Amino acid sequence: MQLFRLLKIMFISLRYGLDDLVTSHHRMRFFRIRLRSLLFWRSLERPRGERLRLALEALGPIFVKFGQVLSTRRDLLPADIVDELVLLQDQVPPFGFDQVQKTLDRAYADRADNVFAHFDTEAIASASVAQVHFATLHDGRDVAVKVLRPGIRKIIEGDVALLRVAAGMIERLWADGKRLRPREVVDEFRKHLDDELDLMREAANASQLRRNFPESDLLSVPEVYWDYCATEVMVMQRMSGTPINQIDKLRAQGIDLKHLSTAGVEIFFTQVFRDGFFHADMHPGNILVRPDGTYVALDFGIMGTLTDIDKNYLAQNFLAFFRRDYRRVAQSHVDAGWVPADTRVDEFESAIRAVCEPIFDRPLREISFGKLLLRLFQTSRRFNVEIQPQLVLLQKTLLNIEGLGRELDPDLDLWKTAKPYLERWMSEQLGLRAMVDNVRREMPFWSNTMPQLPRLLHSYLSRESASEDMRAELEFLHGRIGRINVWLTGICVFLVMATAFLFFLLLR
């Protein structure tokens, strides 16, 4: 079976001229000449990016999804290829209801009729990994049921294995192979697919995002019905609304598109900076809009996460950009270790200014984040900036936000919309309330650790590797530590009282 799959991949690759990517190496010149003479029947007039996109579409949904992941890596791929890969659409015919029935029976160890009062046999949506059906529970709740494609894990494992072999060949034979790190890209792709193949994980993602926006008038997230969820099946509240890219219908409903675009920016920055947990697959098929203008999020297989360090770094850089403080941007890269320590900050600052200054005071319709990111990545390569893997999904999401913003309100000023939110967030992180919250959060750790200091130090000094001088002073230090611990306990009590007093003042 794998042999036939490999032969099909080779045939399609040759048909669309992808062999040029491999045989461009000087060591492969002989094979390149022979292949061109043998494959005289094919046409290579189309640009290489378009040929790659068409080949991935012909190879099937897994390769399409791989192309979608590649489309986010402007730091690795040439611009002409990325621009074509962005056009990939994951539109897959649904699989039959008999296979859905078998999956449901296996997941519930029971007939689906005993679980659902009604189950629509026609899928409402279909993608490469799963498809969605509407159903009704016996208690009358309307639900959406997501079901994995049968045998999809085995197909994915085989295709990813072949992709990894191809990546290794590209890395060895293509002139730019090592710089593009194709095996790293394949591993990243596999990680995303592993997340999507476990619907219990997706259900947990949905549940977390819903908790982050309780009773929100900005974003609505479906409730997960855990009693009906399994690895292959996810059951959630059925949501209704208009797809966000159906602009005419939204206007007919009287929805204020300018307000909708502003709300979208706020939702994005709230997820990123407040929660560090954001929806990373925000294409129009996954976003609905209710008649009251509330966003509805769907499909939670791909979520991004950021640490507090990432959030603070990003917030400071965004604010520095908004204030045109390019030296601060350059210095923060050096401080974070993202560029070599010997980088000249003034040169880096000048390069960043040349990229960003032309876009300020322009409406969104005149700004292309894709081109902006491309120029930033070109600057990054020049100064040997280390690409941070945790920010790749954020880059992809930002590009999605750009596309949605252009459709809803081309005059949206993303900078002016985002700046007040970020300034408010930074004041909350660095102000008095933030200090009180941090002390309150760390207090249990302090109270638990401080009494253990004498024992921990005694254990350290008593190790067999400790010097004789250390052991001789152990008793003396132990007595001193006992007195220090009394002082530390007193300080701890004082901090608790001071924190409580400050908290009381803030709440008045």
Catalytic residues: 281
Contact 407, 366 (CB under 8 A): no
Q: Tokens standing for 200?
A: 């219990």
Q: In what order do the strands lie in the sheet containing 242-243?
A: 219-220, 295-297, 287-289, 242-243
CA distance 365 to 356: 16
Query: Which residue is listed with tokens 């966000």?
Result: 244
- Of the candidates 355, 303, 304, 306, the one whose C-alpha atom is nearest the C-alpha of residue 329 is 355
CA distance 287 to 454: 56
Q: Tokens standing for 106?
A: 């296996």
As a whole number of Å, the CA-based R_g of the chain is 28
Query: Amino acid letter at 202?
Result: E
CA distance 475 to 304: 52
What are the strands, taking DSSP E only, across 261-399?
Answer: 277-279, 287-289, 295-297, 303-305
- Of the candidates 191, 161, 166, 189, the one whose C-alpha atom is nearest the C-alpha of residue 177 is 166
Three-state DSSP class for 273?
Answer: helix
β-bridge partners, 137? 116
- Of the candidates 353, 364, 352, 356, the one whose C-alpha atom is nearest the C-alpha of residue 417 is 364
CA distance 79 to 371: 9
β-strands 219-220, 295-297: how paired?
parallel
Q: Tokens standing for 498?
A: 């001071």
First to last CA, the chain: 71
β-strands 242-243, 219-220: how paired?
unpaired
Q: Which helix (H) or strand (E) element contains residue 195?
A: helix 182-196
- Of the candidates 316, 335, 337, 336, the one whose C-alpha atom is nearest the C-alpha of residue 325 is 316
